[in-house]
Structure formats: structure tokens, C-alpha cells
Amino acid sequence: MAIICRGLRGATTCEANTREAILEATRELLALLIESNGIAPAEIASAIFTTTPDLTAEYPAVAARALGWTDTALLCSHEMNVPGGLPACIRVLIHWNTTRRADELRHVYLRGARKLRPDRTDAPTGFSSPPTDGTA
């Protein structure tokens, strides 16, 4: 089977604009993406992280580096400040070298970000999902 670079998406929300909260939310999101898809760090070509403009205390990519993504190209940026957009949101687009088909990828949306893609909010086995009522 041929290896193809696929885009894997995920998003979560953060409880506060603190270094600890941003890293914790990002670690949780990446851990679920890794477990749900069986990703090895060497298979990741690059990852783009975005935060809403209200999150400025830390780069989400710091959490990826702590997970061993030391040779992976990582980039952080801010999302557009769209009226009515979801606040305190961290998003990631992972460029993953894999033999999987696009319909076999498990995208992960957690906490308040579940409302962004309600069709993708099935929690992976072994993980409890935070409430979807905006209290997460």
C-alpha cells in the first residue's frame, strides 16, 4: 500500500488563558488523536496549531514537543476573530504519512469544541468526554 499524507483534525477548548491550561488541553487532544489513530511521531510530517485570539499564555506546540515530536515541523497561529466564534479554542491539523484511507481517520473534537463538528464527537474507547453544554 502506498503512503499518502493525510490531514487529521482535532479541536478542544481551554479552561483558562494560562500556560498550564493550554498545555493540558493540548496534551489531552493529542493523546486522543494518537491513540484513536495509532500514530507514531515519525509518521507526522508537520502539524499546525491555532488558538483563538484569547489564548496567548503558551504555544500549543510545546505540548507536542513534550510528547516526543522533536523532529516534526510545528507551527502555531491564531484563528480569525469571527463574531460569534467559539472562544478559548485550540485546533490542530496534523499532516500524517499513512496508508489509511481518508474515511478511516478518527478526527477528535473535545470539550466545547464538540459543537464545531457534532458528527465527529464520538469519544474513543477508554476516554470520558467532558460535558457538551459549554461548561467544560
Q: How far apart are the first and last CA of the chain?
A: 41
Sheet of 4-13, strands arranged across:
73-78, 44-51, 89-98, 4-13, 108-109
For the record, the C-alpha cell of 79 comes out as 484563528
Whether 52 contacts 87, CB under 8 Å: yes
Phi, psi of 103, rounded to the nearest 5 degrees: -75, -5
Residues belonging to the active site: 9, 65, 76, 79, 91, 109, 117
Helix (H, G, I), strand (E, B) or coil at 86: coil
**Which candidate, 60, 64, 78, places its Cα nearest to that of 19?**
60
